[in-house]
């Protein structure tokens, strides 16, 4: 049984389920991509897969089931990789979990002028106020978004922040995977 808190919204539940899964793998993990499928439709159309995923006895009929995809390549920028994705019609949404370094807004004024790419990444990595964060962002075909953020220093299920616009750039990139 999952320890994921019950949320009213199926997308929020899916994001929290993915966050819980990623948390169980520990930190310093690669990005992970998930297809989101309608649980009831999956049980009806793919009963053997639903059984494999442990969904045959699930009472819920309005949920979303995250299905982890192949590994996200580490030799290509994330935005370039996402631009290559096209989802079949059975996929109603997608989600990505990724770890990054984050600075508080107060550090923006300290960024040296002219830094870009690797030098900016190095500067952030060496900044004393940096924090490690795991971001799980999900989008549906209809544009609905949800995110979960977990700081490494507050790594507990009760400390996960959720909201639809926490990581807008990543949500936009995921939404673009549904454009034709």
What is the per-residue pLDDT across 7-44, written as a single tens digit (0 to 9) for each? 568 999 999 999 999 999 999 999 999 999 988 887 77
100's CB contacts (< 8 A; 6+ apart) are 132, 133, 135
Assess whether pLDDT exceeds 60 at residue 107.
yes
pLDDT value for 60: 58
Higher pLDDT, 53 or 16: 16
pLDDT value for 106: 79
Instruction: State mean pLDDT over 152-173.
Output: 91
Nearest CA to 15 out of 107, 109, 173, 138 is that of 138
**Whose structure tokens read 């009213």?**
8
Higher pLDDT, 27 or 53: 27
């Amino acid at each position: 049984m999952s320890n994921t808190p019950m949320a009213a919204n199926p997308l929020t539940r899916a994001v929290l389920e993915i966050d819980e899964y990623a948390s169980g793998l520990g930190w310093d993990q690669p990005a992970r991509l998930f297809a989101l499928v309608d649980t009831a439709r999956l049980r009806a159309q793919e009963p053997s897969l639903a059984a494999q995923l442990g969904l045959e006895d699930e009472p819920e009929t309005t949920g979303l089931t995250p299905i982890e995809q192949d590994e996200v390549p580490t030799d290509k920028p994330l935005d370039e990789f996402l631009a290559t994705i096209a989802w079949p019609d059975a996929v109603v949404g997608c989600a990505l979990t990724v770890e990054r370094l984050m600075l508080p807004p107060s550090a923006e004024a300290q960024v040296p002028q002219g830094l870009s790419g690797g030098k900016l990444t190095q500067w952030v990595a060496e900044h004393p106020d940096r924090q490690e964060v795991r971001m799980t962002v999900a989008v549906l075909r209809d544009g609905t978004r949800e995110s979960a953020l977990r700081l490494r220093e507050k790594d507990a299920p009760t400390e996960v922040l959720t909201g639809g616009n926490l990581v807008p750039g990543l949500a936009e990139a995921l939404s673009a995977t549904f454009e034709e």
